[in-house]
Structures are given as C-alpha cells and as structure tokens.
Amino acid sequence: MSLDPSTLQDPPMSSFTFSIYHRGVFEKSKFKDYDSLLINMLDRSEVRASYLASIFDDDRDVKKGADTTLMWGQGVGKVSEKAPRTTSTYCDHGEYVASFLLGSNQVRNFMQIDTGSDLLWWQCGPCEANKCYKQVNPLYDSTKSKTFQKMDCIYGSRCYDSFDTTYTCNIYDHECKYNIGFASGERSKGFMADDVITFVLDHQSVLVTFGCGKDQSSGRSSFSNRYSGLVGLGRRLKVGSYSLPSQFGADLMSICLPWFYSGKGSSLSFHITPWRRTTSAKLLINQKFPLFYFVNLYKIFIGDKLLPVHPSWWKFTKGGRKSGVTVDTGTTITNFPLDLYIVFRYLFRREVGDIPVVKGPHKSLDTCYKDDPKGRPLYFPDVKLYFGEVNQKNMLLLSKERVMIHFTGYYCLAFKGWNRSHSVLGSTQLQDGKSPYEVLFSKAPSLAHLRVLGCSCYASTLPKADKFSERSRPAVLMGDVTFQENVLPFAKMSSLNHSNELIQPYTDNWDDANSLVSADHDDDNTMSEESSQDVSELVPR
C-alpha cells in the first residue's frame, strides 16, 4: 500500500534543505507487487530518455522550446506527440518528490522535482470550477497567505517573456502569464507571483517566485492528485530562469537520493560553498544546454580494469551540442553512447565470468543473469567513476546495488546504450547505501553504546545524599514503556548487588512482573526512529 503523506515527518534540517522521497512511496498502491512497480519505473525512464534525446537533437536553445517525439514503452501504452514551437514542453515524470511549507500559513505540499526544468509552480486556490484537480494534500490558497503578491510585469523586469515563450506579459492586468505543457499531455496555466517557503529547522522563510497554477484542466490528461506541482531544479542562471538554484543563488546542489523501494526520506540542499568529505564532481558550463548539470567524468574502471576509451567521449564538441555527461534525476538507468556502451558491456561481461547472459524481463536491459537456483549470491564487479582525475576523493564507487537492478528473478545491468553522443548518469547510480552520518563524516557510526532490551543497566540515584553515597542503582533496560508508579518491583532488591548478570525483578510470579509493563504507548512517549537513509550524493564543487 502507499504511504499516507500526512504521516511523513520532515526531520530537522538546516535552511535551504528539503526532505525528498521517491515517488514509489506515494504510488505503491497502483501496483500489485515490487516487480510491476519497477517495470513501470523503467518505462518512465525510457520516456525521459526520449525527451532528453529530443532536446540534444534540436538545433535551437532548449529555453526556446523544442519539438519532441516521445514514445511510451511497454506497460504504459504508446503515445506519440509533436509539441508546438509556440510553447516550451517538459517531461513531467520526475522520480523524486520534495516536501515544502508554502505561504505564511505554512501549508505542507509534496511536489515532483526535475533537474531538467527551470520553473517552480504549484496549484493555487481559489480555483474556478473544474479548473484545478482535487489533490491529496491541502490546497494552497493565495488569499490566506499574508505574504502572497502577484508579479507586475509592466513595472518590473522579472517576467522572462523575452527569454522564453512559456511567459507572456498581459498589458491590461499587468500579470506575467505562464503556459507550460508536458509531453504526457498535462498542462498548467496561471500567472507568476511571489510568496514564502519555510525551512523546518530554523523556521526561516525565504521569498520565492513561482507559477500560481489556476488552470490544470486544459491538457489531454490530468496531473496526479498525489502532487501539488513541479519544482524546477535546473542549473543556476543569472537571468532567464525561475529554478530554485537560480533564485537561491546556489552554485552547488547536494542531493541524497533515497532508494526507490525505501519508505524513508532523504535531503535536497543548496549551497554556495563546497562540502567536505563528499564525492565531488565539477560542474561544466554548456552554453547550448545551460539548465543541465554537466559533470567532468574522467575515467571509468570495472573492477580494477580501466575502460579503454578516449577521454574525448566525455568532453563537449561543436559548442556543447555533442558529447558530455549530464546528471538527471528523472532517468533511472545510465545511458552511454552506443559505441562506448558496447565496450563497457563487453568488459563488464568478461569480469563477471562464467555466469551465462540471458534475455532480460525488460526491453531496455540487455545484460541480465538469472538468480542462482540454489540461492547462492552472484558476484558482480564494482564500477568506479572518477571525476576530473583518478583520485579517491573524486571517485564514485558503484557497488552491486547501484550496478545491477534485481527483479523478477534476474539481475540486470543498470546501464544501456543509445544513439546519442551525450551520456546521462541516472538515479540508480546516484543512490547509495550510506546514512547521512556516513556521508558527512566518511565513516560508519559507532553502535557500541547500543544494548539489548532486558540487559542489566544502572540508573542514576537522584537526589544524591552526599559524596559517599552510591551514585546509581542496578536495573533492567526495559526500553520505551509505561510504568505503574504505585508498584515498585525493585523495592526489596539490595542496592549493593553489582553483578554483571541479568538482574531480574523481585517477584515470585513472572506473569505479575510482565503485567507491570503496559503495551499502550502514547505518542509523546514513542521514540522517533533516527532518519538513517540509504542515500547517494554527488556534490558539485
């Protein structure tokens, strides 16, 4: 079943940091099992790759709007669409969802995030009849936010109608109108406005410019009611972009991507200075595609074998239109140029050894291996990505879980080839099996202080009579329980018993002792589980 969004808790985090979740957390109820959920995710990745291919193939700037022909893959049905040149068209299949507190009244909403988009928009009430879809989260109402204000496109210079056909300035009501379409048929119309978003930890509010969505009904299909809008995370531009990095003035974006089958959240942060103790990749400026995060991939090792390809595969040519490596959170698996992928695949299969390659369960995966019939684990080599130079600090180590996708009884290589000169690093390779503590301190946290419930422990004696009195009393670690304060099972126990053995309550009947602990837990007494999340992070420097 899907998780109830109202039960998802935002952990305390610093300013310019948001909680993110994989969209699978919200959509599990739509699928009968894990395998069908993963197949649908791979289908979306194929659509996303087609969308990116249409941009890379177009001779014009992506900001001007590109013709797109997108084909939905297996399990989704085939759809082919030519987007008109009069409007920008985006792919709305973001794989991750961010939590936001909107307006002065801090309405909590969930929105999909997209590193290939430059517009932040959400549904904006009050809505006319049948113009807004009924969303699961409370609808943001601009009339109830004291900090809401429309953008004036006549007396201001912040309406980017001269940069992008998505925006137009209405000279009659001074509204900066936006009209954005999505490749799968959805459309949002409204006007640009300003309001605050609030960060959880320090309750700092920051003013942002966003699209106030007043009409989400004019498209060929409807938006999912699980999300309130879209967060554009396109790379920072000095002018012509409403993406969050542009608005925050952030040169760095740190994303810890949670696993798609995880029910826990992770973090999305914006920075102006580098983080230490992280895997870093330098951002490269691509004048042709300024919104995308191109990185300085240098060399690839499979196990200890260097992938024998020329470095020119990773560098721009022809003004950025050819080659280069970009990071994209909406693509599940990594796409390499076909010729390069053939070399990569050959070396990987050779390193795997004698395990036979079989036909996979999905058309996009061509290097698959069946589970061992006796349940024995299969060995697959690590893949090492080096950025800038061969240096431990610049290495992204991909272990089995980030190299292979496991489903329907197969392990399949999470890389593929495509007929494009650009490479796209997908989200599977950007996930990791590390907790935030390990990412921050480059070491696993110590668990030496943890003890098993029921073991002996010592409770401080309060108040202390004098300096010669005993400082603690022997006890039993019971965990999070509710005690009956009128029953004292240790009252007859000698305080001098300092044995290391398990100390049992003073009672002749264990049933009586067990009855002392209530199974009912109040919310205030429930221990909150530490948000230790399987995450990955690629922090630009």
- In angstroms, rounded to a whole number, what is the distance separating the alpha carbons of residues 532 and 256? 12
- In angstroms, rounded to a whole number, what is the distance separating the alpha carbons of residues 132 and 214? 7
Mode of pairing for the β-strands spanning 334-337 and 415-418: parallel
Mode of pairing for the β-strands spanning 368-370 and 404-407: unpaired
- In angstroms, rounded to a whole number, what is the distance separating the alpha carbons of residues 450 and 453? 9
Distance set, CA 143 to CA 103, 178, 190, 205, 224 (Å): 10, 20, 15, 18, 24
Instruction: Find out whether the peptide bond into 12 is cis, omega within 30 degrees of 0.
Output: no
Can you list the alpha helix ranges (DSSP code H) found in 361-435?
400-403, 427-430
Side chain identity at 280, as an amino acid letter?
S
For residue 209, the SS3 value is strand
Residue carrying the six token digits 């936010």: 145
Q: Is 114 a catalytic residue?
A: yes
Q: CB burial class (10 A; 0-12, 13-18, 19+) of residue 47?
A: buried
Q: Are 119 and 211 in contact (CB under 8 A)?
A: yes
- In angstroms, rounded to a whole number, what is the distance separating the alpha carbons of residues 126 and 287? 40
Q: Which of 164, 328, 432, 534 is catalytic?
A: 328
Q: Are 334 and 327 in contact (CB under 8 A)?
A: no
Token pair listed for 526: 């429930």
Q: Which of 114, 118, 164, 432 is catalytic?
A: 114
Q: With CA atoms as reference, report the closest residue to 405 among 141, 19, 37.
A: 37
- In angstroms, rounded to a whole number, what is the distance separating the alpha carbons of residues 125 and 137? 13
The H or E element that residue 305 is part of is strand 305-306
What residues does 112 pair with on adjacent strands? 97, 230
Q: Are 319 and 273 in contact (CB under 8 A)?
A: no
Residues recognised as catalytic = 114, 328
